[in-house]
Amino acid sequence: MLKVGYIGLGLMGKSIARNILKAGFPVVVHNRSRAAVDELVAEGAISASSPAVVAAQVDVVFTNLPDSPDVELVALGKKGVLEGAHPGLIFVDNSTIKPASARKIAEKLSAKGILSLDAPVSGGDIGAKNGTLTIMVGGDASALEKVMPVFLAMGKTVTHVGEAGAGQVAKAANQIMVAAQMAAMGELLIFARKAGVDPQKVVEAIKGGAAQCWTLDVKPPRLFVGNRNPGFKARMQLKDMKIVLETAHEFGMPLSCAAENTKLFQQMIEMGMGELDNSAVVGVIERLAGVSLMD
């Protein structure tokens, strides 16, 4: 059985590592803050003092970190994965980062004989807890085959999209749709409220038709009881949208809808709502419309 390392035990990383542990894999963990490490050690994981120490004692090492510079530092920097790597190690990144960064990391690791996969995930904290994530994979097919049993402990759908960076392109595409759905949902809810119609009944009326989507199925019940806790934090949605726009710029492609939705999430952060769920973008629309969903 593969011995697995997991670095980055945030909102989703801790739940993913826990599911890998529950599936019976030996798991070595590392995180900047200690509480999540202690929690998983109490459940049977092994603690390591640095990414290099993790890499030295596992067959496959995962990272789940906030942004591109963080992953590059942990993978390639001092006391990083590369420093502790050994022949046969496979590096897998569950973070959402720039496709260009994923390709850079893969190239640097490949030069040292290490296979890598960029494998961002979708499904939020619910999917991470339930082991039902969607996993988009870029990189070497033989590495994916070896790691597949671990992926199946994390998610329900695993798709090999292409070579290095392809998984991150797919995740960026995913985030274009997620942002659009969150913004559209916020607008339709406040549109109904402003027009004097019960938004809950509107959702019931439309969610079985052409408007049906994961967002409309999952988010309104939380919003209707005033729950705007993450989920997936709005500041991370903004980070991802900046990756989308920067990558589109690299290819000389305008994305007008994505750009407008990015502005809404930027307003969220400016309004002090960056730690709330991305569905709480409804708060920006409430402010613009002068009406509250809870009225």
Name every residue whose Cβ is closer than 8 Å to that of residue 107 and which is 6 or more positions away in sequence: 164
The CATH number that applies at residue 262 is 1.10.1040.10
Same domain, 34 and 72: yes
Q: From first to last of the 295 residues of the chain, give the pLDDT tens digit.
A: 999 999 999 989 999 999 999 999 999 999 999 999 999 999 999 999 999 999 999 999 999 999 999 999 999 999 999 999 999 999 999 999 999 999 999 999 999 999 999 999 999 889 999 999 999 999 999 999 999 999 999 999 999 999 999 999 999 999 999 999 999 999 999 999 999 999 999 999 999 999 999 999 999 999 999 999 998 999 999 999 999 999 999 999 999 999 999 999 999 999 999 999 999 999 999 999 999 999 8
Q: Is 201 a catalytic residue?
A: no
CB 263 within 8 A of CB 233: no
* Claim: this prediction has a pTM higher than 0.85: yes
Same domain, 154 and 277: no
Residue 258 falls in which region: left (phi positive, over 0), alpha (psi -120 to 50) or beta: alpha
> What is the full DSSP assignment across 135-164?
EEEEE-HHHHHHHHHHHHHHEEEEEEEEST
Same domain, 62 and 178: no
Same domain, 19 and 96: yes
- At 286, list the tokens: 């409430």
199-206 and 214-224 are packed helices; what angle lies between their axes, rounded to 10 degrees?
Answer: 160
Q: How many domains does the chain have?
A: 2
Same domain, 175 and 157: no
> Is residue 79 a part of any domain in this protein?
yes
- Does residue 8 have a cis peptide bond before it, meaning omega lies within 30 degrees of 0? no
> Is residue 182 a part of any domain in this protein?
yes
> Is residue 294 a part of any domain in this protein?
no
Same domain, 21 and 97: yes
- At 117, list the tokens: 């996969």
Question: Which residue in 98, 171, 219, 239 is the catalytic one?
Answer: 171
Q: Which domain holds residue 245?
A: 170-289
